[in-house]
Structure 1
Amino acid sequence: MLNKKFLGAAALVLGLLPLAHAAGQYPDRPIRMVIPFAAGGPADMVGREFAILFGEALGQPVVVVNAGGGHGVPALNQVLGAPADGYTLLMPASGNMTVPSKVMQDKNVLELLAPISLLTQSPHVLVVSAKLPVHTTQELVDYARAHPGKVNFGSAGVGGVAHLGMELFKSQAKVDVVHVPYRGTSQVITDLASGQVQALFSSMPSLKPMIDKGAVTALAMTAPSSGSDTSKLPVLSDTLPGVEYTTWYGLFAKAGTPPEVLEKLNRAVVQTLKNPALNEKFDSQGVEFVSSTPQQLADLVRKDTQKWTQLIEEAGIVID
């Protein structure tokens, strides 16, 4: 006669087999990757190129879903509203994860989301409309001082890293400039080229076409870069000490996603970011692809959150 304890243990093991088998088969259908920005902006450009190769590494298509606006909350809600199974991922920019808003101020994103890996780190580039008679950071500072309240900085929204970059610039240069928030970077660049706004901090991928056309002028970058184009630009802190930061993109899943799924996703990211084609495509644009462990990404979120929260409090910025 079989031992009852043995039967109970066997039943428990057998009960776990379907779950283990399901995890081992992940992914067995397409994956959605939600980007908290409109199509055409820097996050979208990087995300779509990454998604193609990431899907190849996983063996399933990765479908990009754009959900812009709302400081990234609509995109976050899409992920939180889906099962914690690794089939709906979030690819936010650093500002979405580290800049507190009224909606998110009582929430810890690291309790809502499971970090997978860092994807990129890059400086922002300070550009001005070619219609503005300035060609260096110092000339922009002098122009802004001579025309108080007449220089408009565009950004993809209140509280984004581009907006906070402007606040750093404004504080260190001691100038009176105006922030004009948009719902996405692509429209800002269009208005920058036409002269409706005069300046912008943004990533090189979205700026390069207009820079190459001569519609906008690149003045400086917010941190050193090894990119073949950005490395030619001066570093902003050489003129304005303290104005230095990078922006990044990362990949997250819903909290509660099985550890073995997160591990498989992390391995696929590492494999994808080693692809020479991806690095060659964005090298000239100053985008550095960098993978990380989940813990390293979590630590980066905490560090940047502390930095931007302090700036927001000092500047008295209200982020809805």
Structure 2
Amino acid sequence: MKRRLLLAAMGSTALFGPHASAAEAWPTRPVRLIVGFTPGGIVDETARLIATHLAAHMKITMVVENKPGVASLLAAEHVADSARDGHTLLLGSSSMLIARHQLNRSTADISRFSAISPLSNAALILVASPKFPASDPQAFVREIRANPGKYFYSTAGVGSIHHLSMEILKKQLKLDIEHVPYRGATAMLPDLVSGQVPLAVMSAGGAEEQEKAGRLKVLGLMNPTKWSNESSWRPMAEVAPGFGVSSTLQLLGPAGMPNEVVQRLNNALKTILGMPEIADHMARQGAQPKYSSSADLQADLQLDNQRWLALVKELNLQER
């Protein structure tokens, strides 16, 4: 069921003359932020956090609408088909880019969107059961190479960013290790802790507490660089130079949005994503704020799109 959250900013209504530009006249009604995930999850939380701060900072009204379905592609297609006036925006994600190719949904192609700004970068981690003999990237590679075919790794599902990130690492390091997918991380975690699952790739949220409790070992980050100054987690790029996969969220709009509106939103997000309270909130979810220009995001999305397309084809994950 679609749920709405009205986020009304304080401020008086402005009056605009007939020659006002698109940016000056925008918005003329509430701005809708469409989220392709169910209410209550981490992605939904992030959307509402960003919408609340955008509304307050820009003195506008924002409405968050959840439109889950078809791996978030229903939401993407809804926004792509919307008017290009900046009143309907999308919380984009890495999983959306992957699903577009898996399901052959050209109606959700990245070319149908305006890139506004990235929002967050979530850590992906390679973890091991407490019984696994290695505890760092180098020892992991030595153990797998010394025992080809002995181990397997699990993720929350076939075609997830967790699955594809490990396949990229396998290919680069020429590792003989199979994938055994689960139906979600909740089902996988008990088997990882018990040792039935030796290795897994998962999102970092909550992993630090699990590691401190001795329930799992974090072998390394799938992200390209060290996560934070406080974290002892080391990037897998130490053993696979140039390797790195990030799970990102972005703010997108329909293709052809007025450049002035895109820039206004981008400028506001530059301020918001620099706020300590935003960083603290995201850190609790295993993520970090991420900002760039609209042009840089567009370039990054094109590169990611090409990489996911090639990998989905290579692994034969496309629906026929």
Q: Same fold (TM over 0.5)?
A: yes
Q: Which residue of 2 aligns with 1:244?
A: 244
CA distance in 2, matches of 1:153, 1:176: 10
* Structure 2, unpaired ranges of 5+: 1-16
The yes-or-no answer on 1:80 pairing with 2:117 is: no
Note if contact 1:71-1:101 (Cα within 8 Å) is conserved in structure 2.
no
Q: In 2 relative to 1, CA 96–132 (structure 1 residues): closer, same or farther, beyond 3 Å? A: same
Distance 1:143 1:291, change over 3 A: closer
Whether contact under 8 Å (1:98, 1:302) holds in the other structure is no
Classify 1:209/1:28 alpha carbon distance in 2 versus 1 (closer, same or farther; 3 Å). farther
CA distance in 1 between partners of 2:131 and 2:28 (Å): 51
Where 1:305 maps in the other structure, the secondary structure is: helix
1:188, 1:54 → 2: CA distance?
Answer: 36
Partner of 1:177: 178
Describe how 1:117-128 pairs up with structure 2 within 5 A: 117-121=117-121, 123-128=123-128
- For 1:201 and 1:288, the matched residues in 2 are separated by 19
Runs of 4+ in 1 over 6 A off after TM superposition: none
More helix by share: 1
* Mapped contact 1:144–1:177 kept (Cα < 8 A): no
| Residue 151 (str. 1) matches residue 152 (str. 2) | yes
Scaled by the length of structure 1, the TM-score of the pair is 0.75
Displacement of 1:73: 1.4
Change in Cα spacing, 1:209 to 1:47, as seen in structure 2 (3 Å) is farther
Deviation at 1:252, TM superposition (A): 0.2
**Aligned AA for 1:178?**
H
Give deviations 1:262-315, integer Å, cap 9, x for gaps: 2332222122112121123445876342322222111111122233333344x4
Aligned in 2, Cα 1:302/1:181: closer, same or farther, shift over 3 Å? farther
| Per-residue Cα deviation, 1:182-214 (whole angstroms, up to 9, x for no partner) | 4x5555556645656443334423534434444
Match of 2:315 in 1: 316
Q: Which residue of the partner structure matches residue 271 of structure 1?
A: 271
In the TM superposition, residue 240 of structure 1 has moved relative to its aligned partner by 3.9
Specify the SS of the correspondent of 2:248.
strand
Alignment-mate amino acid for residue 167 of structure 1:
E
Whether contact under 8 Å (2:148, 2:176) holds in the other structure is: no
- Superposition map of 1:68-107 within 5 A: 68=68, 70-97=70-97, 101-104=101-104, 106=106
Describe the shift of the 1:106–1:67 C-alpha distance in structure 2 as closer, same or farther (beyond 3 A). closer
Count of residues in Structure 1 that have an aligned counterpart in Structure 2: 300
1:117-151 residue CA offsets vs partner (Å, 9 max, x unmatched):
12233552212244645423455452686483652
Q: 1:210 to 1:63 in 2, by over 3 A?
A: farther
Q: Cα 1:188–1:68, aligned 2, differ >3 Å: closer, same or farther? A: farther
Question: Quick check: 2:77–2:108 contact (8 Å CA) kept in 1?
Answer: no
Shift of 1:245: 2.7
Contact between 2:36 and 2:69, CA under 8 Å: does it hold in 1? no
Could you tell me how far 1:108 is from its partner in structure 2? 7.2
Structure index of larger Rg: 1
**Deviations 1:51-88 (CA, angstroms, capped at 9, x unpaired):** 33233223345454455563431221332354444333
Q: What letter is aligned with 1:177?
A: E
Matched residue of 2:252: which SS?
strand
* Percent of paired sites with the same residue: 22
Q: Secondary structure of 2:101's partner?
A: coil
Change (3 A) 1:62 1:219: farther
TM-score normalised per structure 2: 0.75
1:132-188 deviation per Cα after TM superposition (whole angstroms, max 9, x unaligned): 454234554526864836523113x43332111111233325223224154x55555
> Partner residue of 1:4?
none
The equivalences for 1:139-218 within 5 A come to 139-141=139-141, 142=143, 146=147, 148=149, 151-155=152-156, 157-171=157-171, 172-180=173-181, 182=183, 188-189=188-189, 192-193=192-193, 197-205=197-205, 207-218=207-218
**Secondary structure of 1:279 counterpart:** helix
Q: In structure 2, what residue type is equivalent to 1:221?
A: L
Aligned in 2, Cα 1:37/1:152: closer, same or farther, shift over 3 Å? farther
1:149–1:178 contact (8 Å) kept in structure 2: no
